[in-house]
Amino acid sequence: MPKQNLYIGPNVNQPGLTTELIGKDANGQSVQLPVVTEKAITIFLNNQEIVTAMTIGDYLEELAIGFLFNQSMITADDKIEQIDYDEDLSVIVVRTEKKTNFEKKLQSKIRTSGCAQGTIYDDMFDKFETIMLPRELKISVSQIISLSKKINTTPSLYLKAGAIHGCVLATVYEPLIYMEDIGRHNAVDKISGVMFLKNIKPKNKVFYTTGRLTSEMVLKTVIMGLPILISRSGFTEAGVSLARRAGLTLIGRARGGRFIALSGEERIIFDSDKLSNQAISDERSAQGQFNNESKL
pLDDT at 101: 84
Give dist(CA 216, CA 4) in Å, integer.
Answer: 29
Contact at 8 Å (CB) between 267 and 290? no
pLDDT at 262: 98
Residues 194-245: tens digit of each pLDDT: 999 999 999 999 999 999 999 989 999 999 999 999 999 999 999 999 999 9
Give dist(CA 186, CA 114) in Å, integer.
Answer: 10
Least confident of 74-78, 124-128, 140-144, 164-168: 124-128
pLDDT at 286: 41
Question: Taking Cα atoms as reference points, which of 51, 60, 54 lies closest to residue 14?
Answer: 60
Residues ≥6 apart with Cβ < 8 Å to 177: 6, 7, 8, 168, 169, 191, 194, 195
Phi, psi torsion values for 251, nearest 5 degrees:
-120, 120
pLDDT confidence of 285, banded at 50, 70, 90?
A: very low
Residue 272 DSSP SS3: helix
User: Would the pLDDT of 275 be above 80?
Assistant: no
pLDDT at 14: 92
Residues 171-190: tens digit of each pLDDT: 999 999 999 999 889 999 99
| Average pLDDT for 66-87 | 94
* Spans of all domains in the chain: 1-282
Higher pLDDT, 287 or 228: 228
CATH for 1-282 is 3.40.140.10
Contact at 8 Å (CB) between 160 and 10? no
User: Would the pLDDT of 280 be above 50?
Assistant: no
- In DSSP terms, which residues pair with 231 in a beta bridge? 209
Residues 127-155: tens digit of each pLDDT: 888 999 999 999 999 999 999 999 999 99
Higher pLDDT, 268 or 216: 268
Degrees, nearest 5: CA angle 116-80-194: 50
Residues ≥6 apart with Cβ < 8 Å to 80: 65, 74, 94, 95, 96, 97, 197
Please report which residue ranges of the chain form alpha helices under DSSP H.
Answer: 60-70, 124-129, 141-152, 157-161, 184-198, 215-223, 237-246, 272-294
Residues 12-71: tens digit of each pLDDT: 989 999 999 999 999 999 999 999 999 999 999 999 999 999 999 999 999 999 999 998
Count of CB atoms within 10 A of residue 281's CB?
10
pLDDT at 284: 47
pLDDT at 188: 96
Higher pLDDT, 285 or 190: 190
pLDDT at 137: 97
